[in-house]
């Protein structure tokens, strides 16, 4: 999404660039909409799945700008986002290991208790019939 806010006059051109070439397919946009006090806003959408190394930019051309404004969209994940993904993956694996060991522990404990109960019943029955 590329948005331009609070501009006057209504005439504006918003376009998308892929590796320096203008993109025409997969682009949709709104007409300039009034946002109050004689100002306008416009939004442009690019339906595109970027891959690493591609350079995607939004270009805004308006009378109030001395030259076209170019906003480059960074396709790489910021360091903070990568750190969050690594920590999240680690916690997911740690939780799975913890859950698995708890499951095995309780399953073993249940089996021991069941065997103990069977032994108690057997001992009581043998004692009862021995009398």
User: For residues 60 and 76, which has the higher predicted lDDT (pLDDT)?
Assistant: 60
Question: Higher confidence at residue 19 or residue 80?
Answer: 19
Contact 1, 43 (CB under 8 A): yes
- State yes or no: pLDDT of 28 exceeds 70: yes
State pLDDT tens for residues 72-128.
987 666 667 778 888 999 999 999 999 999 888 887 777 766 655 555 665 665 555
Strand ranges for 12-105 from DSSP E: 12-18, 21-23, 27-29, 33-36, 39-46, 56-62, 69-73
Mean pLDDT, rounded, of the chain = 83
Tokens (6 digits) for 62: 């308006």
Confidence grade of residue 13 (pLDDT, cut at 50, 70, 90): very high
Q: What is the pLDDT of residue 87?
A: 92
Tokens of 111: 């089996």
φ, ψ at 46 (rounded to 5°): -115, 120
At residue 16 the predicted structure's pLDDT band, cuts being 50, 70 and 90, is very high
């Amino acid at each position: 999404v590329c948005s331009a806010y609070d501009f006057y006059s209504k005439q504006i051109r918003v376009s998308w660039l892929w590796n320096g070439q203008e993109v025409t397919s997969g682009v949709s946009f709104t007409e300039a909409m009034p946002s109050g006090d004689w100002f306008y806003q416009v939004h442009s959408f690019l339906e595109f799945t970027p891959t690493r190394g591609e350079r995607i930019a939004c270009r805004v051309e308006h009378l109030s700008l001395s030259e076209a404004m170019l906003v480059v969209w960074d396709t790489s994940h910021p360091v903070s986002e990568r750190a969050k993904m690594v920590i999240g993956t680690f916690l997911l694996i740690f939780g799975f290991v913890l859950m698995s060991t708890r499951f095995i522990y309780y399953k073993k404990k249940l089996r021991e208790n069941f065997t103990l109960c069977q032994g108690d019943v057997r001992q009581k029955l043998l004692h009862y019939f021995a009398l």
